């Protein structure tokens, strides 16, 4: 009876497997989330991301508030599905109070970002 119903009365559409993109996640950074970048001297800032399905497609975009995209970011050779990027930030007094951000995009509109406040302490006159 069941076989009869399945074979004659119901239509089974073909199943199509869809790969859902998994957005990148940030696994580490220096400074860590929430801490400022204290520019006592010129400093490296870095971020590392993990992407389950698109590590080679990751793009790191660094911006400084009011000054736009920063052009000196250098990729870090990855391990497995981890990728990284680092930016050398000069202790320029004009950067005090600005926000440094990095946005990590994958090839499928997945995105994650992190921001830090820049602090440039007073130096000797």
Partner 1 sequence: MSSRHPLATVAPLALLLAACSDMSIVATNDLASPSAFDTAEVDAAEALTEVIVDVRPSGDADVLPQRFRLDDRSLWSESTLNLQSTITLSGSIRGYAATPVGATVPGEADAPVEARITAFIEGDDHLRVVNSEADGTFALDLPRGQDYHLTVVPITPEALPASYDAGLAFLADSQRDIDLGFGVPVYGRHLQDDGTPVAVSRRPIAYLVDPLTGIAGASTRVDAEGWFALRAQPGTYTLVLEGAEGTTVPRIELPDVLVSESADASSPIVVGAGQVDFAEVTGRVADADGRPVSNASVRFTSVDLDDAAGALEVATETDQNGLFSRQLLPGAWTMRVVPTYEAEGEASPVEQEVVIGAEGSDLGDITLSARVQLEGLVVDTAGAPLGGVVVAIEEAGFDHYVYTATTDVQGAFTCNVPDTALIVRFMPSNDRGVAITPFSLPRPSEGPSTYPLGAGALIAGNASASGSPLPFAVIEVKSPSGESLGTTVTDTNGRYALRIAAP
Residues that bind partner 1 (CB under 8 A): 27-33, 35, 40-42, 44, 46, 48, 56-57, 59, 68-80, 82-84, 86, 90-93, 120-125
Nearer to partner 1, 6 or 67 (CB): 67
Cβ proximity to partner 1: between 21 and 31 the closer is 31
* Minimal distance, residue 111 CB to partner 1, in Å: 16
Would you say 114 and 101 are in contact if contact means Cβ atoms under 8 Å apart?
A: yes
What is the nearest approach in angstroms of partner 1 to the Cβ of residue 14?
29
Nearer to partner 1, 21 or 78 (CB): 78
> Smallest distance from the beta carbon of 21 to partner 1, in angstroms?
17
Contacts (Cβ under 8 Å, ≥6 apart) of 39: 89, 90, 91, 92, 95, 96, 118, 119, 120, 121
Nearer Cβ to partner 1, position 23 or 76?
Answer: 76
We find the least distance from the C-beta atom of residue 17 to partner 1, in angstroms, to be 22
Per DSSP, helices labelled H in 15-115 are none
Whole-angstrom distance, CA of residue 119 vs CA of residue 35: 11
What is the C-alpha to C-alpha distance for residues 63 and 99, in angstroms, rounded to an integer?
8
- DSSP one-letter code for 22: -
């Amino acid at each position: 009876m069941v076989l009869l119903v399945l074979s004659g009365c119901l239509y089974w559409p073909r199943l199509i497997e869809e790969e859902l993109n998994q957005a990148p996640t940030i696994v580490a950074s220096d400074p860590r989330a929430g801490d400022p970048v204290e520019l006592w001297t010129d400093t490296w800032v870095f971020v590392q991301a993990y992407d389950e399905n698109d590590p080679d497609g990751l793009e790191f975009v660094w911006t400084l508030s009011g000054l736009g995209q920063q052009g000196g970011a250098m990729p870090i050779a990855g391990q497995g599905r981890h990728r990284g990027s680092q930016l050398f930030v000069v202790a320029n007094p004009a950067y005090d109070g600005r926000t440094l951000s990095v946005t990590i995009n994958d090839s499928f509109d997945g995105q994650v970002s992190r921001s830090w406040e820049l602090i440039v302490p007073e130096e000797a006159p």
